[in-house]
């Protein structure tokens, strides 16, 4: 493999992990976990949670509206 290809693969893996993290946050919020608790577990400021996951996505999932788009 070339260095460029390795870098692209690592970027793809990183993006996939971020999407998984966002999905887990949405699921936790939709199930009633407070964003402050999630933020503390992730060691981020609570406002970071709302920046990662827009409120409309949380509302959509809470209503059973299906998947979120990343």
- Average pLDDT for residues 38-55, to the nearest whole number? 89
pLDDT at 11: 97
Q: Which positions ≥6 away from 65 have C-beta within 8 Å?
A: 59
Residue 3 — very low, low, confident or very high, per pLDDT cuts 50/70/90? confident
Give me the residue spans of the domains in the chain: 34-70
53 compared with 63, residue with greater pLDDT: 53
Could you give the count of Cα atoms lying within 13 Å of 62 in the half-sphere of its Cβ? 14
| pLDDT(15) > 90 | yes
């Amino acid at each position: 493999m070339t260095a460029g290809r390795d870098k692209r693969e690592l970027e793809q893996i990183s993006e996939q992990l971020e999407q998984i993290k966002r999905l887990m946050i949405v699921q936790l919020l939709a199930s009633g976990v407070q964003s402050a608790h999630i933020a503390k577990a992730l060691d981020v400021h609570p406002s970071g949670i709302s920046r990662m996951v827009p409120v409309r996505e949380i509302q959509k999932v809470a209503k059973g509206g299906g998947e979120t788009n990343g």
